[in-house]
Chains A and B, each alone.
Chain A
Amino acid sequence: MRIQSGYLLRFLSLCLACGPALCAANAQPQEAVEYLVRSGLRGARGGNLVTSIPSDPASFNRMFVSSLANAMVAEQLSADLVHINRLTYELEPSLATRWEVAADGRSYTIHLRKGVRFSDGSPFTADDVVFTLDALRDPKTVSTMADQIQVDGRFPAVSRMDPHTVRFAWPRPVGTGLRALDSIPILPRHRLWEARQAGNLAAAWGPATPPGEIAGLGPFRLKQYQRGTRIVLERNPYFWKKDTAGRTLPYLDTLTFLIIPDRNAEALRFQAGEIDLLNTMSPELFISLRRPGYASQITLRDLGPGLGMDFLWFNLNPGKSASGTPFLDPEKRAVFEKADFRQAVSSALDREGMVKAILRGLGTPQYGPISSGNRIWFHPGLKSAPYDQERARGLLARVGLRDGNGDGILEFAPARRPMEIILLTARGIPARENAAEIIRQNLAQVGIRLNVQLLPVNELVPRFLRTFDYEAILFGNTPSDVVPDLQADLWYSSGVQHFWHPGQAKPYTVWEEEMDTLTTRLLQSLDAMVRITAFFRMQEIWAEQLPAIPTMAPNILSGWRNNLGNIRPSLMPFYLLWNSEEITKPTR
């Protein structure tokens, strides 16, 4: 017994002597986390927030999402280097703590947040950033995000300076700065290296991937996915944001997305309390929920006009098809080419009436190339062409359109042919179908006969991007950011998305030449004042020339249950969920 005690004592002494040294040798150095502290938050941890999406996700990798709904889910699992604040539209640090721009305006040195870990516990370093950008550049990786960071068709050169510093160098100065990096998910190199090498990165985090294999830097991580039913996300224990009280975010324990394809069923489930928030809702549902009985349960918010809006435009393409036939009857095009004609059409449109009849008053008439909801870039002094049929008739007469035979239809060209126009629009979008009908009635009142044809979207798009086989189109455009730079292809006369006359070898008109010059200034200047002045002038030119006639922008209508906290609605996607890590829901 005595001997045993002696051994025990010697063993314990050895442990005490060598223990700290052994532990120090085995332990990995734990860097303190450089938390991003969010102020102005109130709430306690816990709760399961339930919302809905209309379809299943194609991928849990933000880089390969297939729809806005898919992006909303994937965004919760990932984080970007810098992020656009959806309330102020300003660029904010995210995984980057700060950055410096070189004197040439092309290179940025980005300092990364230290001590950050992926949701599987692995450390985040500059290698992950380089891996992500290399993956995006890889020709085998086909992601629409690749276009977001390219400048003149070229990617930025990305290099690792040290484990917590990277350098981005663009081929020329970029007016938007690092804004293009918003939402680009930083991927874990240790998880996706092999998939990238094998060329199947896009399929790596598909719907069939076990949740444990997906690791991100977002506020949540995947817990469960049941196809067609639900996606459950749980709190990422390694998330790198805190509130001022020192509680790590997110507040919510879980975030559940129910997959509900039918909007009526979604509305019923929201009313029944199964869903906590609806990012967007129809005007009809919004009005029905405004009844007093719901006020104690639901908060409704009309956020005003969204970034998306509709345009009516005429085919101004003077080109010919492969068979030598002009895309459009030259005499008719000669009429369309006159700015007075387009101004007349604009004046003939009763936009207020459209908003009342189609959107139940929950929309906003539009007169410029971007929505008035874009309060940073929208030109407040833009001249609008109010509904004025007399002005429209006067302008049409100036263009040479007259009703010679008294049948109520104006005639054009020496042969005095009746002004009949075929308007194409997308089938299956009721608001747009109804708008086309109102436009038909409005133009009939000033003597233009419009024949509306509804086509599936997939058939309509090639008409104005490839075959140019149309006379007029009513279609929508929803920019993904408030800055106009991302729509450069629309502004440039050479752009393939310059809808009314795409791909011009050289500017066809004087005003398009001026637009080109201003667009270059907008894209390349680092001076905010120069940029905004250029874009204000572009809006003025647009309002004068009306190459595409703006009609209306539906308001963004949102609703959430009163027990949710820290909801800060935004006009930009994902409307109510952009700050999901800050949202609270009491557990009782």
Chain B
Amino acid sequence: MRILTALSRRAARLVTLALLVASATFFLSSLIPGDFFSVQESDPSISRQTVERMRRQHGLDRSLWVQYALWLRSCIFLDFGDSLFYRRPVRSVVLEALANTLWMGIPALMLGLAAGMLLGVMHAVYRNRSIGLAFDLISSAALALPTLVLGLAALLFAARTEWFPLGSMNSLSLQDPGFLEWLANRIHHLLLPVGCLSVPIIAYVERIECAAAQEALLQPYVRAARARGLPRRRILLDYVARPALNPVLSVSGPLFGNVLSGSLVLEVMFAWPGLGQATYDALFNLDLPLVIGCVVGSTLLLVVGNMCADALLLILDPRTRIRTGDAR
């Protein structure tokens, strides 16, 4: 019950945050001179009257406050208006894109957390050997490597070897596939972008896990376990890796942010129609309703990510529950 109360409070706080972020985006966007139709205005074959009619049709001729009031009223019904570029409700564009981003983001996050934790513990155990130095170097390089370079290298690799498809969500040759064939094809298309997206996450988690595991290795209970002659694997899993989970879980929520920023570049490169690509299109075309929709979508994704991480922490670490109770 305490967990539920804590989570519902956080949910309310985070929804308010999403609304504030969206409002801030609305007003900040309005500061940008020009609008979606400015480019058409520079075309000598399109009259100014036509451009003005287009502006009127989309309510862009109204004052900013009226536009905001109308937008806010629609938001209550989760209606974020129509995308100027796609001429579709922003909600449907964002939801579709969000689902595609999750296809890429969740496996990348899972892979990043699992591989990062495993490598982090190994790094802590072998920290004074050459393998530890190699871990240090590789994780530093992986953190420093821009996603753009990583994506381009992956595409070149795919083009040379022909082992992986060069983007898109499924193969052109796939006609009326069965579910398993479709899934296999989708996973094949996911391998490279998920790999690229998870590299910085693995490196980040590995560093955190390594520091936490190093601390855990020095704890008296680990020495006691060794003294009791417990098997090494059990010591590492139960006495080192598990207590070191806490800091990793704490950052796993914000890591959703990394997933989103990484997907912004990778989705464009791999022709993956997710939130990153929609945001890119929206910003490129100055499609403000879609920009706001994408920001709200990203904020909600972050919110949900953080809530999941909080819930896991509350479940796995009883100390956090006590602290939540105290704070209350």
A interface residues with partner B (beta carbon < 8 Å): 50, 55-56, 58-59, 64, 66, 139, 142-144, 146-148, 150, 153, 202-203, 206-208, 226-230, 256, 258-262, 264-265, 268-269, 271-272, 274, 456-462, 464-465, 475, 477, 479-480, 486-490, 495-497
Contacts and interface: CB of A to CB of B under 8 A. Distances in A.
B170 A229 contact: yes
B35 interface: yes
B86 A269 contact: no
B34 A462 contact: yes
Contacts of B234: none
Contact of A269 (B54, B97, B167): B167
10 tightest Cβ-Cβ pairs between the two chains A and B: A228-B273, A458-B34, A459-B33, A461-B38, A497-B44, A458-B38, A487-B44, A490-B44, A486-B45, A58-B87
B235 to A, nearest CB: 47
Contacts of A203: 87
Contacts of B152: 264
A142 B42 contact: no
B30 interface: no
A324 B239 CA distance: 77
Interface of B: 32-36, 38-50, 53-54, 57, 85-88, 92, 96-97, 100, 152, 155-156, 158-159, 162, 166-170, 172, 268-274, 277, 280-281, 286
A457 B39 contact: yes
8 contacts: A55-B281, A229-B273, A260-B167, A260-B271, A271-B159, A465-B42, A489-B44, A496-B48
A329 to B, nearest CB: 22
A461 B41 contact: yes
A323 B97 CA distance: 46
A258 B41 CA distance: 29
Contacts of A202: 87
A497 B100 CA distance: 42
Contact of A50 (B44, B169, B172): B172
A392 B125 CA distance: 73
Contact of A230 (B88, B172, B269): B172
Nearest to A487: B44
Given A56-B86, A230-B172, A261-B268, A456 B32 contact: yes
A487 B57 CA distance: 25
Contacts of B277: 228, 261
Given A264-B155, A458-B286, A142 B271 contact: no
Contacts of B47: 147, 150, 153, 489
B46 to A, nearest CB: 5
A439 B86 CA distance: 38
Given A228-B273, A268-B155, A274-B166, A456 B34 contact: yes
Contacts of A274: 166, 172
Contact of A66 (B87, B270, B272, B274): B87
Given A58-B87, A261-B268, A477-B44, A142 B172 contact: no
A223 to B, nearest CB: 11
Contacts of B169: 226, 228-229
A465 B47 CA distance: 12
A301 to B, nearest CB: 23
B35 A458 contact: yes
Contacts of A269: 166-167
Nearest to B273: A228
B307 to A, nearest CB: 28
Contacts, number: 148
A207 B273 CA distance: 14
A201 to B, nearest CB: 12
Contacts of A150: 47
A207 B33 contact: no
Nearest to A256: B172
A490 B47 CA distance: 11
A55 B269 CA distance: 13
Contacts of A268: 155-156, 158-159, 166
Contact of A144 (B46, B159, B281): B46
B33 A147 contact: no
A258 B273 CA distance: 12
Given A147-B50, A489-B47, A462 B170 contact: no
Given A462-B33, A477-B44, 17 more contacts: A59-B87, A66-B87, A144-B50, A207-B86, A227-B96, A228-B169, A229-B168, A230-B172, A258-B271, A259-B273, A264-B269, A265-B166, A265-B271, A269-B167, A459-B32, A465-B42, A497-B42
Contacts of B172: 50, 230, 256, 258, 274
Contact of A265 (B39, B270, B286): B270
Contacts of A227: 96, 273
B96 A458 contact: no
A206 B34 CA distance: 26
B269 A262 contact: yes
A458 B286 CA distance: 8
Contacts of B273: 56, 227-229, 259
Contacts of A153: 47, 49
Nearest to A269: B166
Given A268-B155, A269-B166, A272-B159, A459 B271 contact: no
Contacts of A142: 50, 53-54, 57
Contacts of B270: 265
A105 to B, nearest CB: 22
Contacts of A207: 86, 88
B36, B42, B49, most chain A CB atoms within 10 A: B42
Contacts of B286: 456, 458
Contacts of A271: 159
Nearest to B89: A208
A55, A226, A228, most chain B CB atoms within 10 A: A228
A377 to B, nearest CB: 15
A208 B92 contact: yes
A138 B40 CA distance: 20
A314 B92 CA distance: 45
Contacts of A480: 45
Contacts of B88: 58, 206-208
B271 A229 contact: yes
A546 to B, nearest CB: 18
